[in-house]
Amino acid sequence: MTMPAAPPGFIFATGIENSIPTIGQGTVRVDEMEKCGHYAHWRKDFALTADLGIRFLRYGPPLHKTFLGPGRYDWDFADETFSELFRLNLIPIVDLCHFGVPDWMGNFQNPDFPALFAQYAKAFAERFPWVQLYTPVNEMFICARFSALYGWWNEQLRSDRAFVTALTNIVKANVLAMQEIIQLRPDAIFIQSESSEYFHAENPAAIGPAEHLNAQRFLSLDLNYGRRVDSQMYEYLMDNGMSREQYHFFLRNTLKHHCIMGNDYYRTNEHRVAADGSTRASGEIFGYSVITRQYYERYQLPVMHTETNLVQGADGNEAVNWLWKEWANVLRVRNDGMPVVGFTWYSLTDQVDWDTALRENNGRVNELGLFDLERKIRPVGVAYKKLIADWGEVLPTQSVCLQVPIISPREHHEDWAVRKREQARRTPASADAPRNTQ
């Protein structure tokens, strides 16, 4: 019998940017995989990931090219790419929906989206049974906010009712997808990649609006984890179209015991709030460690820092300095007793048009990657490789008490791995019964 390889003690990751929102009232598809050259250079991208010493890759097939209609899929690209990930023994954290849906599905106002997406998740899990780690829907709060409250993407609506509809459909899709995947892969682990936000009142008159926004930021994870929302947000949801039946669906259908709370932090995650409720960027004030504590105390789940980056800048060292600052914040969180299991620089390569939050199709390169778009390493790529080499073998997460039970692709069919999946299938979910009160 083959014994399991030593599991990675800490999840050092990067990702392939695969956002696919539409703009221009649905007439223009923003495909970051295409803009960043991944369709042409995917083999090189995977090799570069491995060369950095990274074993985990946030990655997923392009939903709009793969999901052709109900029960209809084009797996050609996914078959090629995931076969190569398997060959390299890279562990994908599979990102199934990243800010957009196929044209035939419309947008996130479509009430059929949750069930349709769950079918897609099931089909993916059937085709790639060796995949264990998933982010079914990326940044659920941001996706709903940018699509239905800010009017930037997809349905491009600007109302609380549209936002609640989008959020309801998105989180329900995530929950249903998790349920389908668990039926096929009972030891699946779901890493929610969600933006960690904070809203600062800039004067006493802005305290009320800031409190509302600071309650609203938790909605996606509250619903996803079956946590009863606070009374203010309950009224907000009910006033803007969520039914009691929909609300109780989330309380009844949590899979919290299979989840890692992935949270993202950028300089743009903190905001100043004016008396009229309008917001603007505040830059870093609290920082990752302070805000992560707020989320951890609310959900009591293992934590992974799932996204960060910064433009390289004129001095050439801005991104490197930001990497070390974020890493220091991760260590601070760990030293404060929170179980942090991973860190991610997002993404592997530079991105395109994120300087306008993908609202404009300008083709402007944003120097955010570990590599540029010619696949030449940036200073932050060199620094991240060194960080992984320096810290990978000495972090206290090597403790068996804090190891994530990960099975690598090549170990999927081993007898011990099969036994672990069967054990997971028999594990009761009673620990997830909702216990919070309003």
C-alpha neighbours within 13 Å on the C-beta side of residue 102: 21
Q: Are 177 and 117 in contact (CB under 8 A)?
A: yes
- pLDDT for the residue numbered 404: 83
- pLDDT for the residue numbered 9: 75
- The mean of the pLDDT values for the chain is 93
pLDDT class of 403 with cuts at 50, 70, 90: confident
- pLDDT for the residue numbered 420: 87
Q: Is the model's pLDDT at 72 over the cut of 90?
A: yes
The residue among 326 and 431 whose pLDDT is bigger is 326
Q: Is the model's pLDDT at 401 over the cut of 80?
A: no
> What residues does 56 pair with on adjacent strands?
13, 91
Distant-in-sequence, close-in-space partners of 259: CB < 8 Å, separation ≥ 6: 189, 190, 191, 192, 224, 225, 301
- pLDDT for the residue numbered 392: 82
Average pLDDT estimate for 314-318:
91
Distant-in-sequence, close-in-space partners of 428: CB < 8 Å, separation ≥ 6: none
pLDDT single digits (tens) 150-179:
999 999 999 999 999 999 999 999 999 999
Q: Cα–Cα distances in Å, from 273 out to 56, 139, 158, 266, 386?
A: 37, 22, 18, 18, 39
Instruction: Please give the Cα distance from 110 to 42 (Å, whole number).
Output: 32
- In this structure, what token pair is assigned to residue 317? 């060292």
Distant-in-sequence, close-in-space partners of 289: CB < 8 Å, separation ≥ 6: 329, 330, 332, 333, 336
Looking at residue 346, the DSSP 8-state letter turns out to be S
Q: Which of 151, 171, 28 is nearest to 97 (CA)?
A: 171
Domains of the chain: 11-425 (3.20.20.80)
Instruction: Please give the Cα distance from 278 to 341 (Å, whole number).
Output: 35
pLDDT class of 4 with cuts at 50, 70, 90: very low
- pLDDT for the residue numbered 423: 87
pLDDT single digits (tens) 198-207:
999 999 999 9
pTM of the model: 0.95
pLDDT single digits (tens) 74-114:
999 999 999 999 999 999 999 999 999 999 999 999 999 99
Q: Is the model's pLDDT at 393 over the cut of 90?
A: no
pLDDT class of 400 with cuts at 50, 70, 90: low
Instruction: Please give the Cα distance from 184 to 232 (Å, whole number).
Output: 38
- pLDDT for the residue numbered 434: 44
Average pLDDT estimate for 388-396:
78
- In this structure, what token pair is assigned to residue 299? 């959900």
- pLDDT for the residue numbered 438: 36
Average pLDDT estimate for 260-278:
97
- pLDDT for the residue numbered 252: 96
Instruction: Please give the Cα distance from 321 to 284 (Å, whole number).
Output: 14
pLDDT class of 2 with cuts at 50, 70, 90: very low
Average pLDDT estimate for 413-425:
88
Give the lowest-confidence range in 23-37, 86-100, 330-344, 418-432: 418-432
pLDDT single digits (tens) 319-354:
999 999 999 999 999 999 999 999 999 999 999 999
pLDDT class of 7 with cuts at 50, 70, 90: low
Q: Count how many residues are written for the chain.
A: 438
pLDDT class of 293 with cuts at 50, 70, 90: very high
Which DSSP helix (H) or strand (E) runs through 298? Answer: helix 288-299
Average pLDDT estimate for 356-374:
97
Name the most confidently modeled range: 31-45, 385-399, 422-436: 31-45
User: How many CB atoms are closer than 10 A to CB 321?
Assistant: 14
Average pLDDT estimate for 212-236:
97
Helices first, then strands: H and E counts in the chain: 15, 17
Instruction: Please give the Cα distance from 257 to 81 (Å, whole number).
Output: 30
Q: Is the model's pLDDT at 51 over the cut of 60?
A: yes
Instruction: Please give the Cα distance from 288 to 275 (Å, whole number).
Output: 26
Burial 295-319 (b: 16+ CB within 10 A, else e): bbeebebbbbbbbbbbbbeeeeebb
